[in-house]
Structure formats: C-alpha cells, structure tokens
Amino acid sequence: SSEASGSLTLQHHMLEPVQRIPRYELLLKEYVQKLPAQAPDLADAQKALDMIFLAAQHSNAAITEMERLQDLWDVYQRLGLEDDIVDPSNTLLREGPVLKISFRRSDPMERYLFLFNNMLLYCIPKVIQVGAQFQVRTRIDVAGMKVRELTDAEFPHSFLVSGKQRTLELQARSQEEMISWIQACQAAIDQIEKRNETFKAAVQGPEGDTQEQEQLQSEELGLRAPQWVRDKMVTMCMRCREPFNALTRRRHHCRACGYVVCAKCSDYRAELKYDGNRPNRVCFHCYTFLTGNVLREDKEDKKRGILEKGSTTGSEQSIMCGFLQLVGDKWGKSGPRGWCVIPRDDPLVLYVYAAPQDMRAHT
C-alpha cells in the first residue's frame, strides 16, 4: 500500500541505493560537528568520514562514466552504427544542427555536428530515419583543426572549421549559437594541444625541438584542406584573369589553395597530404610549389594594367567596400550591381568589380 511504502513511487525507492552513500556522508558530518573536542569517538568518526568521502567520490565518478558511455552509445545508434565512437577515451562535448554554406549552391543546406574531445563528425540528416537519423559525411580530427568567425554579409552568424581532412563554412541560427560553437571547438583544440605539448615536453626534454617549431610555422599548402572560394564570388579565373563562360571556360577549384580557376590554369595534378597523397587537380602556382617543377610560360609576360588589381572583401585592406547599384541608361534601364572598393594603398581611386573576389576590375 502507499502507507507501507511511505507514499513514494517505485522510482523513488530504486534511487535509495544510489543516495545511500551521500546520506551516510551527511550523517557523519553532522555527527562529527556535534561531538565534543575531548570525545573518545572523534578520531574514529573523522576516519570514517574520510572513508565515506572517498567512497562518495568513487561512486560519483562511476555514475558520470556510465552516463558518458550511455551518451556515446546513443550517438552510435543515431549514426546507424557507422562510426566506432564508443571508446573510453571519447567524450561528447556538443551536438546540434547547423547550415552548410555551399560553394556552388546559393541556399545553405541542413547539416548536423557531433563534437567530441578528439574529432568532429559532420553529418547529413537522413530523410527516411529507419535505424539511423544521420549519415557521417566527414570526420575531422581536432588535432590540427582551426576555427574562426567569418565576416560575410550574405550569411550572418557564419564560421569556418578548417581541418586536415576538410574545411567547412558553416552558419549558425544566431550570434550566440555561433559563439558557443566556436568556443566549444576552441576549447577542444586547446585541450588536445595542451596534452600534445605535455607529451612532447616529456619526450624531448626541457631543451625542446627547434626544428619542429620551425616546421609548425612553414607553409600549410597541401597539408590541410583549403577554404574553397564560392563560385559566385568571382567572374574570372583567379590566376589568368580571363572571364568565365558556360561553354569554353568553366569554373574549377584548385584542391590545394581553393581558388576558382579555369581548366587551362588547373590542368595539373599533385599529391596532397591531407587527401592521403592522392593526385588532385591543382593550379599551376600550387603545382610549382608542391612539386618544385618550374613551368614554362606559354604566353609572353604582359605589363600589368591599371585594372590588374585584386579585389578585397575585408576592411583591413580597404577604406570602404561593398555592393553598389550602377546607374542605368537614359531609357531607364537599371545598371548592373558592382563590388566597389576604395583601397588603402590607392585612396583616390574607386575600383568596380563584377564580384567580390575578382582579380581584375572592369572600371
């Protein structure tokens, strides 16, 4: 009956074994506080309190570990048992939906992130959720990962996650959510860097390794996935500056630097370490840097014209920049929209580009 059970439900009674050790600790604390200073039981009571305190710590740690493994198992099932993440060294730090900014499509795509202490899982929600809610698209190691906020007027609350395996442009639903993601990723990065520094110090000794410090400051071209320039941000090849068109000069991406280039400027292959040393399409600049092969110029060097000045999308290189609607003709037809820049190194000139990252102005 309810009177026999103290008017408590079955769930409350099942919690009693878990709550027993904390109750013993509270009881002993109160008992020790009320004992006189000359009481013969004071030493034994204090010793018992210390033992109960250690037992409570061990119990709480065991419960926390069980909850952590249960969280990992839940994620493992939601991923359809695809990625082996149920590991004692893994800890789930954060999860949630984000929007993926595509370099070809104008509309962001729904994606889902799982951030662990050692990796970031970039997942696609499944339309038919039978047995699994998400499909793992990319796994990015936290070691070597970088994260920063993006200043993009078209996509607010966006941030960049750059890893050795892939670089992602993501958009959060609010400024607070973006900051929370950046802080969580940076905390995981700092923790793993601190652990690696401790390991290196133990192996190398106090004198360190200056050669490795120089290597960390070297060029990262080919060592990590680049941030791809979006197609609509340029109207011309970022190497030869020839305009793109749908038939004879189509857009391609250099897999080393992420530039949008034409087929002629990217007709080269080089092994990239971040892609398992597999040959990838690269532009001639990256091909020369990665392979050391100097290419013969097919066309004569031309004198750089006054319009041969790369655009800028940031305020650090320009006094003012942004889109402006150009004046139309006398018949009332509106003119095209142009990206206008007043550079800091040439403040008396207004450059007008067709797109924010074009390498040559048209006015």
List beta partners, residue 243.
236
CA gap 108, 86 in Å, rounded = 31
DSSP string of 316-347, one letter each residue? TSEEEEEEEEPP--TTSPPPPEEEEEEETTST
- The verdict on pTM exceeding 0.85 is no
Tokens of 72: 């990992």
Q: What is the pLDDT of residue 208?
A: 43
Tokens of 230: 């979006």
- What phi-psi label fits residue 246: left (phi over 0), alpha (psi between -120 and 50 degrees) or beta? alpha
What is each CA distance from 305 to 82, 127, 310, 361, 362, in whole angstroms? 55, 53, 12, 10, 11
pLDDT digits (tens, 9 = 90+) for 89-123: 788 899 999 999 988 777 899 999 999 999 999 99
Q: What is the pLDDT of residue 300?
A: 40
Contact 248, 184 (CB under 8 A): no
Mode of pairing for the β-strands spanning 278-282 and 318-325: unpaired
Q: What strands, in cross-sheet order, belong to the sheet with 92-100?
A: 134-141, 119-125, 109-116, 92-100, 167-171, 158-162, 146-149
Tokens of 312: 């800028």
pLDDT digits (tens, 9 = 90+) for 22-33: 777 788 888 888
Q: Alpha helices of 205-335 — where are they, by DSSP H?
A: 210-216, 284-291
CA gap 76, 81 in Å, rounded = 5
Which residue from 170, 172, 164, 168 is spatially nearest to 142, judged by alpha carbons?
A: 164
Q: What is the pLDDT of residue 210?
A: 35
DSSP string of 192-222, one letter each residue? HHHHHHHHHHHHH-TT--HHHHHHHTS--BT
Tokens of 136: 């793992």
Residue 259 CB-density burial (10 A; 0-12 exposed, 13-18 middle, 19+ buried)? buried
pLDDT digits (tens, 9 = 90+) for 58-89: 877 888 888 888 888 888 888 887 666 667 77
The residues, any chain, with a CB within 8 Å of residue 140's CB and separated by 6 or more, are: 119, 120, 122, 161, 163, 164, 165, 166, 168
pLDDT digits (tens, 9 = 90+) for 151-194: 887 889 999 999 988 999 999 999 999 999 999 999 999 998 88
CA gap 250, 216 in Å, rounded = 36
Q: What is the pLDDT of residue 209?
A: 43
CA gap 13, 157 in Å, rounded = 48
Lowest mean pLDDT among 157-161, 214-218, 236-240: 214-218
Res. 343 pLDDT band, cuts 50 70 90 = confident
Which residue from 71, 172, 80, 90 is spatially nearest to 134, judged by alpha carbons?
A: 80
